[in-house]
């Protein structure tokens, strides 16, 4: 695929793939954290997040899971839940030219932090 933005990037294909993955993971976190959720809409929200990321350039695959074990039930009309970073498990594969970046957004318990990180870079 011809990339009209390539001339603006002073990096190799691996660095570009990781850059693109970072944008997508940041989008997931900053766009969707705070979304109202319930047991009835979790599957729909996972699919919606995946579909919104798939339309972005260079995405080969994305898998979003909302961790049901991190959901704390609240009672009452104003006690709805919101999506938090510790509920997200995301695997994202970005393909740029002959390079794939496999990246993740996962809550790392020992850090108490939802970390975005590079899992693997594959050159075909």
Contact between 74 and 98 (Cβ < 8 Å)? no
Provide mean pLDDT across the span 14-38. Answer: 96
Q: Is 93 in contact with 122 (CB distance < 8 Å)? A: no
Please determine, for residue 55, whether its predicted confidence score (pLDDT) is greater than 70.
Answer: yes
| Domain definitions of the chain by residue range | 6-123
Paired tokens of 59: 């995405």
The better pLDDT of the pair 60, 73 is held by 60
pTM of the model as a whole: 0.92
Give the pLDDT confidence score for residue 66 in this predicted structure.
96
Q: Is the pLDDT of residue 39 over 90?
A: no
- The pLDDT assigned to 40 comes to 82
- pLDDT recorded at residue 14: 97
Please tell me the distance from the alpha carbon of residue 11 to that of residue 3, in angstroms, as a whole number.
Answer: 14
Average pLDDT for the chain: 94
Q: For residue 77, what pLDDT is reported?
A: 73
Q: How far apart are CA 13 and CA 81, in angstroms?
A: 40
At 7 the three-state DSSP class reads helix
Q: What's the topology of domain 6-123?
A: 3.30.1300
For residue 106, name the pLDDT band (cuts at 50, 70, 90). Answer: very high
Residue 87 has a pLDDT of 96
- The yes-or-no verdict on residue 1 having pLDDT over 70 is no
């Amino acid at each position: 695929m011809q990339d009209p933005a390539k001339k603006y990037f002073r990096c190799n294909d691996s660095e570009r793939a990781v850059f693109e993955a970072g944008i997508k993971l940041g989008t997931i976190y900053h766009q969707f954290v705070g979304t109202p959720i319930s047991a009835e809409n979790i599957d729909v929200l996972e699919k919606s997040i995946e579909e919104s990321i798939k339309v972005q350039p260079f995405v080969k695959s994305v898998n979003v899971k909302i961790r049901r074990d991190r959901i704390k039930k609240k009672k009452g009309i104003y006690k709805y839940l919101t999506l938090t970073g510790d509920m997200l498990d995301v695997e994202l594969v970005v393909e740029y030219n002959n390079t794939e970046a496999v990246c993740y957004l996962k809550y790392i318990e020992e850090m108490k932090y939802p970390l975005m990180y590079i899992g693997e870079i594959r050159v075909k």
